[in-house]
Amino acid sequence: MLSFFTLSRGNKLSQITCKRHPLFLLVACKSFSLTDVERITKVINDNRFPEEPLHPTLLKHLPPGSISTVFVENALGRLFAAHSNGLKAMEFFKFCLQQSHFIPSSFSFEMTLHILTRMRYFEKAWELMMEIGRTHPSLLTLKAMSIMLSKIAKFQSYEDTLEAFDSMEKKVFVGKTFGTEEFNVLLRAFCTQREVKEARSVFQKMHARFNPNTKTMNILLLGFKGSGDVTAMELFYHEVIRRGFKPTALTYNIRIDAYCKKGYFGDGLRIFEEMERTNCLPTLETITTLIHGAGIARNLVKARQLFDEICKRNLQPDTGAYNALISALIKCGELNSAMSLMDEMEEKDIGHDGVTYHTIFLGLLKKNDTDGICQLYHRMIDRKFVPKTHTVVMLMKFFCVNSRLDLGLHFWQYLLEKGYCPHGHALDLLVTGLCSRGRLQEAFECSKQYLERGMRLSEVVYRILERFLQQSDNKDKLRELNEMIKKLQSVLAPSKGHAFAHSSSIAIE
């Protein structure tokens, strides 16, 4: 284990993660409505990239007076959730920067950076960071640094990540001396990718330069938890306790979560009792984690008891707490009770989120309740809710496997109308299902819509279309797809698993 470091005792723990959720920043504002946000994100996504420049379109649909800080934050949050093309998001952000009255926020810059790095447009992301460093240095935040380093740690090498950290200090955050907080961001980049060995290596190499604090230790503890090695996590925990580390509520929550996820609910309760003995007040997150743990252990009685204790502890159950109990109910086969909880949330004006829907859908799938899935799907659509990617893919697979291509196409069009770019896996499933049932024209149209929004077809789905279009003597359509792919290739970096225009040149000739 780590055997040397200097601890700053008594440091107040600051949040490890940003409180502002990256998917949406739904803020009530008199100057615009969420309908306006939905409209402009649809305009951006519907733009025929790269054939049509986005700038004239934005001029047409965005009068200068309509661009406010909160509007841009909401639009970029929606573009992030919609899996939009990163280059379009960046062009929208830069367009807004050109408006003299617009005051950019760090959140809008962070969202743009997040969209770019998620699509691995690192060169563009670096260019944007350098530009913002020159023109709006106040927008450069620890969160922006975290977004960039985390994605580099995920998609590139250990050495690339360290080099990026060094470049940020010397070329981006010019004039700022990096300290403990920046060091914590670097450690977190590795820990969030479950690269604990790399995080330990960084700590051992660089701890002498920086003064580790309570947050540093919690980040490393999170890394051990993410690796799934509970024994290593506990050894690390007791090592730092011996060296003066004072555990916080977050420290206990991390340990409880680690045990609960492994199915060691009794150990989770033991740490919970230890937490209370040390007069460290449990938070709502603590109770929610234990409810999840009770569900994993199939201990429904304890899950309900913990949920009922929330109000007794002067806390208020939120969507996360309800989701934990719903999950526990479904794991114990109490699907009807879980559905009733969903109704109770509506009665108490506690909103459903993506986890709520996904958990109920999983329960219905486990019961093989086709009618129930279709009913919940229509209920979700009636409420104009857009689920997260893993739910989209799960539903699309269900519709295609169970011969409900009508619902698959309906879902596809719904997502497009809401201004979303459905994930590539959803398209793969839909095209495969349509082609296997002889509905080639619809498969072609969906693929074309996807390409028009600046998204690349996978090699798998392209080969399927290629084969069926050739068999049906539709070489004109194949040529059209090939030209669209070629245009995208001219502006997007090559990426493994995506179709290349030259792959069908022989067939087209």
Interval 335-368: pLDDT, tens: 999 999 999 999 999 999 999 999 999 999 999 9
Q: For position 33, what pLDDT does the model report? A: 60
Tokens coding 459: 């090699």
Indicate the SS3 state at residue 498: strand
Q: What is the mean pLDDT of residues 427-455?
A: 94
Q: For position 63, what pLDDT does the model report? A: 83
Q: What pTM was estimated for this model as a whole?
A: 0.84
- Residue 221 pLDDT level (bands cut at 50, 70, 90): very high
273 pLDDT more than 50: yes
Q: For position 243, what pLDDT does the model report? A: 83
- Pair 435, 474: CB distance under 8 Å: no
22 vs 370 pLDDT, higher one:
370
Contacts 24+ apart (CB under 8 A), 194-201: 194/223, 194/226, 194/227, 195/153, 195/158, 195/223, 196/220, 196/223, 196/224, 196/226, 196/227, 196/229, 196/232, 198/153, 198/158, 198/161, 199/223, 200/2, 201/158
DSSP labels for 192-254?
HTT-HHHHHHHHHHHTTTS---HHHHHHHHHHHHHHT-HHHHHHHHHHHHHTT----HHHHHH
Rounded CA-CA distance 255/260 in Å is: 9
Instruction: Report the percent of the chain where pLDDT is more than 90.
Output: 73
Tens digits of per-residue pLDDT, 93-140? 999 999 888 999 999 999 999 999 998 999 999 999 999 999 999 999
* 264: DSSP letter: -
Residue 385 burial (CB < 10 Å; 0-12/13-18/19+)? middle
One-letter-per-residue 3-state SS of 78-123 = HHHHCCCCHHHHHHHHHHHHCCCCCCCCHHHHHHHHHHHHHCCCHH
- Residue 29 pLDDT level (bands cut at 50, 70, 90): very low
- Residue 36 pLDDT level (bands cut at 50, 70, 90): confident
Q: For position 492, what pLDDT does the model report? A: 72
286 pLDDT more than 70: yes
3-state class percentages of the chain: helix first, strand second, coil last, to nearest 5? 70, 0, 30
Tokens coding 302: 């304890």
274 pLDDT more than 80: yes
- Residue 1 pLDDT level (bands cut at 50, 70, 90): very low
Rounded CA-CA distance 352/471 in Å is: 46
Q: For position 17, what pLDDT does the model report? A: 38
Rounded CA-CA distance 456/433 in Å is: 19
Q: For position 22, what pLDDT does the model report? A: 39
Alpha-carbon Rg for the chain, nearest whole angstrom, is 25
148 vs 496 pLDDT, higher one:
148
146 pLDDT more than 60: yes
Which span out of 22-26, 194-198, 329-333 was modeled with the highest average pLDDT?
329-333
- Pair 130, 95: CB distance under 8 Å: no
Rounded CA-CA distance 11/222 in Å is: 18
Burial string for 415-431 (b: 16+ CB within 10 Å, else e) reads bbebbbbbbbbbbbbbb
Q: What is the mean pLDDT of the chain?
A: 88
19 vs 352 pLDDT, higher one:
352
Rounded CA-CA distance 279/423 in Å is: 46
Number of DSSP helices (H) and strands (E) in the chain, helices first: 27, 0
- Residue 423 pLDDT level (bands cut at 50, 70, 90): confident
- Residue 504 pLDDT level (bands cut at 50, 70, 90): very low
CA 419 to chain centre: 17
Rounded CA-CA distance 118/387 in Å is: 19
211 vs 491 pLDDT, higher one:
211
Tens digits of per-residue pLDDT, 302-327? 999 999 999 999 999 999 999 999 99
18 pLDDT more than 90: no
Instruction: Report the percent of the chain where pLDDT is more than 70.
Output: 90
- Pair 456, 495: CB distance under 8 Å: yes
- Residue 48 pLDDT level (bands cut at 50, 70, 90): confident
75 pLDDT more than 80: yes
51 pLDDT more than 90: no
Tens digits of per-residue pLDDT, 150-179? 999 999 999 999 999 999 999 999 888 999
Tokens coding 102: 């617009």
- Residue 53 pLDDT level (bands cut at 50, 70, 90): confident
